[in-house]
Structure 1
């Protein structure tokens, strides 16, 4: 059975450690675990002092899943304190996924499912996110000694083979929603996984009005 999933990427946000745009840059990385392995090749072309184009090609596989993806992003860079540059820009991707006997062609950008929790620590070129440690500790307490049921949306894996799922506790508590409700995560829905988008948006708006969690002191949340 074939399914065609089409969606458009609007904004790509992130942080890099480069102080300025380089004329050309080429990078590669290998990643893997007991169940999933892959490789990614990245090329960046500096267009001028603060603009660059990035093209990423990746291939990954596991026992019942294979993905080939191509991602393009246009960056506008600007400096912030702490030695990092922020960048913003539109991006798009196309990927071919083979999961069991189902084949998917995706046009867009892969990513988190429904919510985006802050990074608890520095990872590579990504700086530790504001409220990251608090978010991680809250999730650990929420899940401690509890069984979790996973619910999947349209796309089951992201571009790196990581599982995309909604989590529920035995008492029916919706873990993703609880994170947003209490201000420990922001909303980040990436089509085609938009099943609970309206719920997340409503909870985030309420948490922001009540100055809960990360909304209490993050200047960017004002």
Structure 2
């Protein structure tokens, strides 16, 4: 199953990669979502090439007693002049549940004329080990400074 999903993702990425908008090398900011803890993660994006990037998020939860970290590989496609949409997959760790989880992401973003990026995304997560049971998901708004 993993090979089929990876193959499908590769075909999808190569099909649409010619439509990708130039993305900046780095972006850092906050991703605001619901759930336990503060509901905000520190979010960092690193450009890998013109249509791919890596995103890493780290947030505190359960009244600062634990943390949650997520790493995602993303494909980025251009919709209009300053609008992009993106999709990807990755994994993470939740110290409160002592669990590993798999994650997906799909979202839309807008690049302002200033070096500000705002995005809205949906991230489903599935527990792999530990007490992270079932399917968990979040809808989030992120604001990042690009450099």
Q: TM-score, normalised by structure 2?
A: 0.50
**1:46: how far off?**
0.6
1:107: which partner in 2? 100
Post-superposition CA distance 1:146-169 (Å, at most 9, x none): xxxxxxxxxxxxx9xxxxxxxxxx
Post-superposition CA distance 1:69-123 (Å, at most 9, x none): 11000111111248431212221101111xxxxxx21211469xxxxxxxxxxxx
Q: State how 1:175-194 maps to structure 2 within 5 Å.
A: 190-191=126-127, 192-193=133-134
Whole-Å separation in 2 of the counterparts to 1:126 and 1:90: 16
The gaps in structure 1 that reach 5 residues or longer are: 1-9, 12-18, 98-103, 112-123, 128-158, 160-187, 195-222
2:23: which partner in 1? 21
1:78: which partner in 2? 77
Q: State how 1:133-172 maps to structure 2 within 5 Å.
A: none
**1:189: how far off?**
7.7
Whole-Å separation in 1 of the counterparts to 2:38 and 2:62: 6
Whole-Å separation in 1 of the counterparts to 2:27 and 2:72: 14
> 1 or 2 for the larger relative contact order (CA 8 Å, sep ≥6)?
2
Larger Rg: 1
Query: Does the 8 Å contact 2:102/2:125 carry over to 1?
Result: no
**1:36: how far off?**
4.7
- CA 1:38–1:87 in 2, change beyond 3 Å: closer, same or farther? closer
Q: State how 1:10-89 maps to structure 2 within 5 Å.
A: 19-28=21-30, 36-37=37-38, 39-62=40-63, 66-81=65-80, 83-89=82-88
The gaps in structure 2 that reach 5 residues or longer are: 7-20, 105-117, 128-132, 136-147
Q: TM-score, normalised by structure 1?
A: 0.35
Whole-Å separation in 2 of the counterparts to 1:189 and 1:47: 24
Normalized per residue, the structure richer in strand is 2
- CA 1:70–1:36 in 2, change beyond 3 Å: closer, same or farther? closer
1:94: which partner in 2? 93
Whole-Å separation in 1 of the counterparts to 2:79 and 2:120: 14
Whole-Å separation in 1 of the counterparts to 2:86 and 2:37: 30
* Aligned residue pair count: 100
